[in-house]
Structure 1
Amino acid sequence: MPITKTYFLAGHARLPQGMAAKSVFDTLTITAEIDRKYGVILQASCTLATEHGRDYIGHLLRGISLRDGIEEAIQMIHSHYHGRAANALIAALKDLYTQFELLIEKKGSKLG
């Protein structure tokens, strides 16, 4: 079995009342495929209600290195996403980053 050069992580947050996605999901999830060596988000997705929204968030997060922290990703959401789920997206990003930190700690601060 080949060893993959990526990690797959997920972060979760509660959706605000009145969101279209709330009728399907109680929580918003962001998933990301992350390069093991550099911590760069290669691809990301989320459970927003529309395909356009999901694609947009994936595009915003692609290329961000979690090795540099989560602030750049949060700033991208603040600057470019102006929907009702902004706070849930940021909370899910923070949760995803926590999962990343736990993984790095478990691996002894070494990604590869």
Structure 2
Amino acid sequence: MVKLKEKEIFISGYAKPPENTTASQLYKIIAVGLRVERKTGIIVEADSSMITDVSKSFVKNALEGKNLVQIEEIEEMFHDNYFGSAKKALITAIKNCHLRYCAVIDNQMMEPEDD
């Protein structure tokens, strides 16, 4: 059996939604959680704290299967196709996931392997 540590990691990113939006009234932050293949950066599962089911579904479907390393493509897709009031905060949260993933991978490359 493959251990989760060897195959996948969980990454989260957060951002503050704009004032005077439904999201800012219900949440102080927008959260994005991603289950990511450790070696490839492929997003296996995505979730967010978006308010409506349709926006949560949109984010999930837009992210799953994408490569977190290719953040420019993900960002462009949200710029071109997502027109909710929390767009900027959502993109920032996803970019924070990207930065966290890069930090994890960079840190692992610096660690000596166990024999």
Question: What TM-score, normalized by structure 2, do the two folds share?
Answer: 0.87
Map of 1:79 onto structure 2: 80
Alpha-carbon distance in 2 for matches of 1:25, 1:96: 19
Alpha-carbon distance in 1 for matches of 2:47, 2:16: 16
Alpha-carbon distance in 2 for matches of 1:63, 1:42: 6
RMSD, aligned α-carbons: 1.8
Structure 2 unaligned residues grouped into runs of 5+: none
Q: Give the % identical residues.
A: 28
Map of 2:104 onto structure 1: 103
Q: Using the TM superposition, give the Cα deviation of residue 93 of structure 1 relative to its aligned residue in structure 2, in angstroms.
A: 1.0
Alpha-carbon distance in 1 for matches of 2:63, 2:31: 14
Alpha-carbon distance in 1 for matches of 2:16, 2:71: 19
Contact 2:32/2:47 (8 A) holds in 1? yes
After the TM superposition, which parts of structure 1 deviate over 4 Å for at least 4 consecutive aligned residues?
A: none
Q: Using the TM superposition, give the Cα deviation of residue 85 of structure 1 relative to its aligned residue in structure 2, in angstroms.
A: 0.7
Contact 2:23/2:86 (8 A) holds in 1? no
Alpha-carbon distance in 1 for matches of 2:59, 2:101: 19
Residues 32 and 109 from structure 1, CA distance in 2 versus in 1: closer, same or farther, beyond 3 angstroms?
Answer: farther
Matched, 1:88 2:89: yes
Structure 1 segment 21-100 matched on structure 2, within 5 A: 21-67=23-69, 69-100=70-101
Aligned residues: 109
Larger radius of gyration: 2
